[in-house]
Chains A and B, each alone.
Chain A
Amino acid sequence: MDNLLSTELWASLLSALLTIMVLSYLIGDNPLFRFAMHLFIGAASGYAGAIAWHNVLKPGLVDPLLSAGISGITDPSIIASVLIPWGLILILLLKLSPRTARAGALPMAILVGVGAAVVVGGALTGTILPQSQAAMESLSPTAVSPMTGETGPERSISVLIMISGTISTLVYFHFSTRRSPSGEQEPIFLEIAGIGVPSPVVMLRWVGQAFIAITFGVMYAGALSATILILAERVEFLMNTVRLILGTAG
């Protein structure tokens, strides 16, 4: 009896039920699936709101103000860390009304400006420059990869593939080729034994297109394997829940 009323059991049952409701999408869009989706979205939103209040707003804007009191309002640290953010929040709330929407542009500008600067700076210093340097690998067989430990021809081949893939992918995204007057996209550059040979840029574009296709294929394969693993875990959970119910009932 206690087992029947245990929280774990009811939680498992509820979870299994929701799992089945979501898996009912196999038969198409149905009310069970919609209910489960609505329930999940609502719960997630509520939970996120609660977390935001307890972890961000209250400890950052409310508790310091309450603890400082009226006399502590003039404290510069309170002013900088509490009052100014409160002011920006109130100004941002003016965007709710169309009449006062223009006044709420200041906090929006701060948010967008700071966010863009951080993202652009991070992309520049964290991705573009380091990755550009990483592409300038040495083709020497004696070199050793620091992380993988590859060396010798294996590493040279890896580097060569990496360089060709980088260049061909960049060429693919460069719109340098134009259509011929007849409408053909790849004009014939040279004819050898009656066979039309396109220009080197066109051929390099084909290679880049192949690399991109392989990359997307690998990403799809990874997503597929992740999905199958998730499905396997859910099926195992359902079976465990059934065993639990049967065990409890038994």
Chain B
Amino acid sequence: MEVRCPMCAKLNPEGADECEHCGARITPLVIGDEGTSRAEEVGREEEDWLSRIRDQASQEQDQPAGQAEPSEEDWLGRLREASSETPEEEPLSPERHGDYPATDPDEGKEMPEWLARIRAREAEEVEEPSAVQDDDWLENLRGAAPLDDEGPEELAAEDQPSEEEGDMSPETPPPQEMEFPTGEDREAEIPGWLEASEERQPDAPLPAEEESRTPDLFTEEGAEQEPVSAADEPDSQPFIQDSPSWLQEIMEETSEARKRAEREEVEPSRPVSPTDIEGEPEEPEPEPTPHIPALIFDDEEREGSEFDSGEIDLEGAQLPEWLGEVELEERGVEGEEVEEGEGDLAPATLPTWLEAMRPVDTFQSVVEIETEEDESIESVGPLAGLRGVLMAEPVVAKPRTSPIGSMQLSVTERQYAQAELLNRLVAEEQDEVRVRPEMRLQSSLLRWLMAIIMLLGVAVPTLFGTPSYPLPRFEPVELKPMVNLITRLPADRPILMVFDYDPGYSGELDAVAGPLIDQVMRQGISIASLSTRPTGSAMAVRLLGEIGQQYDYVSGEQLIHMGYLSGGPTAVQLLALAPRSAILQGFNLPAGLQAGGSSVWDTPALREVHELSDFGMVAVISAGTDNARMWAEQAAPRMADTPLVMILSAGSEPMIRPYFEAREPQIQGILSGLPAAVAYEQRNNQVGAAHRHWSAFGSGLMVAELALAGGMVYGVVIWFLRRQ
């Protein structure tokens, strides 16, 4: 049978140690035994300790009464049962240590020194049984009671917290340092099962390290022991049957390895006994892997003990060395008999202090699952007919009270006071604060200063005539077309003047419109006034009457006030289409006309006017952009050749100028601002309101410009300083 190389995975002849292809080692090197294959060595190790177990088990059967009898029950099961039972309060007593195999002085075994010391100590501590009342397994060991033949139950019970200690008791004393009894005492107190294990392997060599607490179960020495097949030894049959499955598998494997070894005629190594280490010189063989049972029971008290009834008293049992057990070395080295029914790998038992920390009451290691017959069948919903469906309706829909009691809010005095304070603060926010009267007189100094400066700048030129600003030498570009337009107006056709501004703008617009009205009146052209504002008619009456006095214009003849045109853009469009339908009544008509029930259309000036285009010119005096645009949009398209002229405030002129400067202008003339008015008056060779206001206007503008410049400089300086 060829073997495959672990490195290159190529086949090599059976038994080859090194690969022929890559040179890697096929069989791992084993220290101390270069001539045997690793598998054989491992098999030999397993068989050795296993054989010890079997020997011990067989010897237990041959032991006299008092020792532990092989039990047909599973020792692991007994451990479990013992752990589920209430811990017994049996203090450790020398008799309870009968589980431990006691050395038989009659047998004439030679005990190693260390083991003798342990036994001696235990013998000393047996005299104080009262001191060993706690269930701590370590304390039990320290009590140096003689090893009893107690079963695993006692050991488990020993590990469980006693009633005296209490569960999770913080007062559980920590594991104290173990004191191993001396050799003589130890020899007297070794439980039977330990002795039995020693007897099974009388020739088992002792481990090389005498003081080693931990038996070398997994060393090569243990592995070199003669493997004992469980099947070959009939004495071990009950032991094998009672062993757990994993142990049985191991035993079977070792038996197979042993057979292989026998076939190849490999001399099994002699098991190591404790006596060999002490005096007899042994061959330099690797130490067998010592056996480390989980629990060590005394065979003596097996009869009639809990062991037979299925219970295992673990109080007297000793735990393996890796938990601090000493007796395991004795067993592993001398090959003592192991109590039948006891496995090497017994279930681990928790020490008392650890067990005390475990919430035993609440922990459920086994999950209970309902059987199918117990599960209810769902009858509604998409899961109808299925078993094991969570009942949503009775759980969710069913109203139920909370299992937790209602929690009442506990408010401390401090919290209450803070809540009151907060409530008071919120209430105070809603209270109105009375305005202090003295605060109304307070005003900023800067505003007062600017107001005084502005008033003086306007009043001084008016009062004293100085400073006097020179009149403009250049007239606006649009002034000349305007003047020419008015010059060419026919005298028999009246003009329509629309007064669409508020009384507040009369100071400006009266000054700007004055020269135009003066030129029109000088030419003797009749003027009809109209307004889309209720107060516009009164403005028209005042201004036209004031200027008309110079040219003897009479209201109702040369001056016709058509009144108020209501309706906004719709009325303007109606006026453009049918003026007689838009204006039904006049304003401030002469008494004669009013008494006769006549309308403005009956006057001589408007008798021939039927459409808007019948007027010689339409002049709109407006302070706002909207009104001017409205007339340009609604009236201009329906005026045919009749020119439309705008007299505007300086602020609205930029928005209306595009209508004047377009390729096809909708406005034929525009007049805006005091400079244009002054230039117009100069053309007319007259001194009107524009001239009177010119100096004050210039002075006021100068003050405003200086204030703006000063503010800009101040802002720049502040910005510069803040930046730095």
Contacts and interface: CB of A to CB of B under 8 A. Distances in A.
Contacts of A225: 650-651, 673-674, 697, 701
Contacts of B630: 122
A223 B440 contact: no
Given A118-B569, A133-B663, A222 B658 contact: no
A165 to B, nearest CB: 11
B462 interface: yes
Contacts of A148: 477-478, 661
Interface string B686-705: 00010011001100110010
A229 B462 contact: no
Interface in A51-86: 51-52, 54-56, 58-60
The residue in B632, B653, B658 that gathers the most chain A C-beta atoms within 10 A of its C-beta is: B658
A219 B636 CA distance: 25
Chain B, interface residues (CB within 8 Å), range: 35 or more
A133 B664 contact: yes
Given A52-B534, A218-B654, A228 B700 contact: yes
B664 A222 contact: no
Contacts, number: 178
Nearest to A143: B663
Interface string B649-669: 111111100111111111010
Interface in A110-164: 114-115, 118-119, 122-123, 125-127, 130-131, 133-134, 137, 145-149
Contacts of B458: 228, 231-232, 235
B654 A215 contact: yes
Contact of B662 (A119, A130, A233): A130
Interface stretch (A25-33, A99-107, A176-184): A25-33
Interface stretch (B201-209, B448-456, B709-717): B448-456
Contacts of A118: 569-570, 573, 634
A233 B693 contact: yes
B383 interface: no
A234 B507 contact: yes
A44 interface: yes
Contacts of B463: 239
| Max chain B Cβ within 10 angstroms of own Cβ: one of A44, A55, A221 | A55
B654 A126 contact: no
Contacts of B504: 230
B459 interface: yes
Given A118-B573, A134-B663, A236-B696, A222 B448 contact: no
Most A CB contacts (10 A, CB to CB) among B507, B510, B564, B692 go to: B507
Contacts of B659: 130-131
B629 interface: yes
Contacts of A133: 662-664
Contacts of B672: 222
B124 interface: no
A228 B697 contact: yes
A126 B636 contact: yes
Interface string B556-594: 000000011010111001000000000011010000000
Contact of A55 (B564, B637, B658): B564
A219 B505 contact: no
B245 interface: no
Contacts of B511: 229, 233
Q: Is the interface of B mostly helix, strand, loop or mixed?
A: helix
Contacts of A220: 651
A224 interface: yes
A26 B447 CA distance: 8
**Most chain B Cβ neighbours within 10 Å, of A48, A58, A219, A235:** A235
B451 A26 contact: yes
A238 to B, nearest CB: 9
A230 B508 contact: yes
A43 to B, nearest CB: 10
B633 interface: yes
A230 B668 CA distance: 27
A228 B704 contact: yes
A213 interface: no
Interface string B433-464: 00000001111000110010011001100110
A147 B660 contact: yes
A226 interface: yes
Contact of B654 (A52, A222, A231): A222
A243 B234 CA distance: 151
Contact of A137 (B440, B637, B663): B663
B587 A231 contact: no
Interface residues of A, number: 55
A239 B692 CA distance: 13
Give the one of B511, B637, B651 with max A CB within 10 A.
Answer: B651
B535 interface: yes
> Dominant SS at the A interface?
helix
B388 interface: no
B658 A126 contact: no
A51 B563 contact: yes
A47 interface: yes
A148 to B, nearest CB: 5
Nearest to A50: B534
Nearest to A56: B566
A126 B666 contact: yes
Contacts of B481: 147
Contacts of B477: 148-149
Interface in B344-388: none
B236 interface: no
A59 B584 contact: yes
**Which of B448, B650, B673 has the largest number of chain A CB atoms within 10 A?**
B650
Q: Which of B508, B568, B674 lies at the interface centre, i.e. has the most chain A CB atoms within 10 A of its CB?
A: B508
Contacts of A230: 504-505, 507-508
A219 B534 contact: no
B214 interface: no
A84 to B, nearest CB: 15
A80 to B, nearest CB: 11
Contacts of B664: 130, 133-134
B281 to A, nearest CB: 88
A134 B451 contact: no
B197 interface: no
B633 A127 contact: yes
Given A222-B649, A222-B651, A146 B566 contact: no
Contacts of A234: 507
Given A28-B443, A233-B693, A223 B650 contact: yes
B692 A236 contact: yes
Contacts of A229: 507-508, 511, 650, 674, 693, 697, 700
B534 A126 contact: no
B524 to A, nearest CB: 27
A37 to B, nearest CB: 12
Nearest to B674: A229
B526 interface: no
B61 interface: no
20 contacts: A26-B447, A26-B448, A29-B440, A47-B534, A51-B587, A56-B566, A115-B568, A126-B632, A126-B636, A134-B662, A149-B477, A219-B651, A222-B652, A223-B649, A224-B701, A228-B701, A229-B508, A232-B507, A233-B507, A239-B462
Given A226-B508, A230-B505, 10 more contacts: A26-B447, A28-B442, A29-B440, A114-B570, A125-B633, A125-B637, A127-B629, A229-B508, A229-B693, A233-B689
Interface of A: 26-30, 44, 47-48, 51-52, 54-56, 58-60, 114-115, 118-119, 122-123, 125-127, 130-131, 133-134, 137, 145-149, 215, 218-226, 228-236, 239
Q: What 7 pairs across the A-B complex have the smallest Cβ distances?
A: A126-B633, A233-B507, A134-B662, A222-B650, A122-B633, A223-B651, A48-B534
Interface of B: 440-443, 447-448, 451, 454-455, 458-459, 462-463, 477-478, 481, 504-505, 507-508, 510-511, 534-535, 537-538, 563-564, 566, 568-570, 573, 584-585, 587, 623, 629-630, 632-634, 636-637, 649-655, 658-666, 668, 672-674, 689, 692-693, 696-697, 700-701, 704
